[in-house]
Amino acid sequence: ADTQTVSTVTIEEKVPAGAYAVVDTLTAPASSTSYAWTWTKTFGGADAEGVYDYRIVVRDVAGNVHTSSAAATVSVHLDRTAPAAPTVTAPTAGAYYGEDSTILRGTASDASSGVALVEWSADGGAAWFAADGTTSWTRDLDLRAGGVNPVAALRDQGQKEILVRATDLAGNVSG
């Protein structure tokens, strides 16, 4: 919009399963030929999870909507829910392995924003390592002496506990 003719910028919000409503109107200073606006939305605990759509409507001094403002729409997905804990499908609990390696395998899911990362730990969660894949994931656990596994303790004989967690696209981590 031409900075000399813009009068107001209206920000409209559409909440999940709702209709657009004006949440703020910014008025251009009459004596200024160059100006910029900043608007911030802070989500609180009462805001529902889901998709929030924001539409910016620019009007000139006569009240006409500027034609380019139709493209000024943005969607934000509010997701506070952690993904479900990943499922380990291999190796099975209590299994014995005498081989040089075994495959850690499983699935992960997140009903809201999707799985971004699956990680595993063999030291009680002190260090985490990325698995290959997200909703269907694997990791080759190299158990050979001198192998490439990042956790040397996996090579020692005895029972091991391997933890697995998933992180969704919003940064929420499974428990």
Which pLDDT score is estimated for 78? Answer: 95
Which pLDDT score is estimated for 86? Answer: 97
* 106 band by pLDDT with thresholds 50, 70 and 90: very high
pLDDT tens readout for residues 46-103: 899 999 999 888 887 778 887 665 557 899 999 999 999 999 999 888 888 776 778 8
Decide if pLDDT at 9 tops 70.
yes
Q: What is the mean pLDDT of the chain?
A: 85
* 1 band by pLDDT with thresholds 50, 70 and 90: very low
Which pLDDT score is estimated for 4? Answer: 46
pTM for the predicted model, two decimal places: 0.75
pLDDT tens readout for residues 118-174: 999 988 999 999 999 999 999 988 777 666 666 766 777 778 889 999 999 999 999
69: which DSSP letter?
A: G
